[in-house]
Structure 1
Amino acid sequence: MQDPDARHHPETADEPAPAHGVGPWEGEWPADDRFDPELLAHGDRRNVVDRYRYWRMESIVADLDARRHGFHVAIENWQHDMNIGSIVRSANAFLADTVHIIGRRRWNRRGAMVTDRYQHVVHHETVTAFAEWARAERIPVIAVDNLDGAVPVDQAELPERCVLLFGAEGPGLSEDALAAASGHVEITQYGSTRSINAGAAAAIIMYEWCRRHAS
């Protein structure tokens, strides 16, 4: 499958350029090192906001780094959950500081839609290693799971600097992960299902954090 975020997509008679994105730069090229000559010459078909059209990938990351929010996202990865990619994509959309993958190093990147190129992602072998990192950074861990005693997120405290911890689809958070958290929140539901999709839940929680703290 062709990478949707390839450096450029030259048009051919048999394969027209995708409808999204922009074509080659028209007129005199900008004298700015942030711009990529290949993208200026061939067009930019990447899934990026207009602000970053024609920019080098490393320039985009540097600009994001200057504006990243105070929350991190952590995900337990014990069963190759396909939701991890969509959570990474949401973390990029909501400008999370870093995504922490706990457990298996390999994760399904399909749902990320190459946003992991712009999002810091780190790995922790175990929950213990992750918890030690959080303690060293003095950053509270907020577990997200619909368990007894969890506080509805619209009523809960979400610190400006924190880690939002999510479990795998189905089993949810492990006992070790729950024990590592200093707070537990849930999403209020109104229908018959016991839980909602992990990727959707993560996006809701990140949006709630941004609603309160993002400038």
Structure 2
Amino acid sequence: MGRSAVTDDVQEAYGPGHRPPLPPEEDRPADDREVGVGPWPGGEGAWPKDPRYDPELLREGDRRNVVDRYRYWRVEAVRADLASRAHPLQVAIENVSQDLNIGSIVRSANAFNVSGIHIVGRRRWNRRGAMVTDRYLDVRHHPGPEGLLAWAIAEGYEPIAIDNGPGSTPLEQARLPERCLMIFGSEGQGISEQLLAGCSRLHRIGQYGSTRSINVAAAAAVAMHAWVLQHGGPAPD
């Protein structure tokens, strides 16, 4: 076909100098690179004798979402090593609905190596966003706010709410306690009144754009990182 009909129609629809939108890309994960390692080189005779290593992973390869230092390690060995150097920061999330954000928060909590996760409300939660990181964390369930707050008092943790509601103060200017229990609400509903009433303070994350609020999973990652900057020290990597 010549320029004529197609080009003229495009110019009329999209304006001078514009091209029509490209067709949608194939539906596939944003990151589909192969990760991990194959079987241990040299065969079974060359396997390390360290009991932390998993014979099945040594034989089949390790494609899990773990950093290189934990390649071929048993799940229990990874959990034990993380627990030995976990931060005293703990995170609580109200589970009002099957929200993918909960899984994303758990994944960030694993990245910052918090010492515990608390799910408040519904026991079942959508684990897809966690990328199986929950198996390396201490995850507890509380049917309601009273159970979580009683745990915090008994363990000497200060409950701090992270939300942009009335009376909130800037997180960027706050000195966070070392034994901190950060509390996040569900996307949309925020933190319940009963749980908010049990918190010592309410902090918001400073925003500079037009959106009314930050996605709760993104807010949780920012807040955890703020604590790490004050108490975490240099990362092992």
TM-score, structure 2 as length reference: 0.82
Q: How much has 1:82 moved relative to structure 2?
A: 1.8
Q: Is residue 2:204 matched to residue 1:189?
A: no
* 1:56 match: 74
CA distance in structure 2 between the aligned counterparts of 1:165 and 1:156, rounded to whole angstroms: 15
Q: Find 1:179's aligned residue among 197, 210, 223.
A: 197
Q: Find 2:142's aligned residue among 117, 121, 124.
A: 124
Map 1:88-127 → 2, pairs under 5 A: 88-127=106-145
Q: Which runs of 5+ in 1 are unaligned?
A: 1-17
Give me the CA root mean square deviation: 1.0
Q: Which runs of 5+ in 2 are unaligned?
A: 1-32
1 or 2, which has the higher helix percentage?
2
AA paired with 2:37? V
CA distance in structure 2 between the aligned counterparts of 1:175 and 1:22, rounded to whole angstroms: 48
Q: Is residue 2:193 matched to residue 1:209?
A: no
Larger Rg: 2
TM-score, structure 1 as length reference: 0.90
Deviations 1:77-127 (A, max 9, x none): 112222100000100000011100000000000100100111111000010
CA distance in structure 2 between the aligned counterparts of 1:192 and 1:171, rounded to whole angstroms: 20
CA distance in structure 1 between the aligned counterparts of 2:135 and 2:146, rounded to whole angstroms: 27
Identity %: 60
* 1:20 match: 35
Look up the SS of the partner of 1:208 in the other structure.
Answer: helix
Look up the SS of the partner of 1:70 in the other structure.
Answer: strand
Look up the SS of the partner of 1:184 in the other structure.
Answer: strand
State the aligned residue count: 198
Look up the SS of the partner of 1:46 in the other structure.
Answer: coil
CA distance in structure 2 between the aligned counterparts of 1:80 and 1:157, rounded to whole angstroms: 33
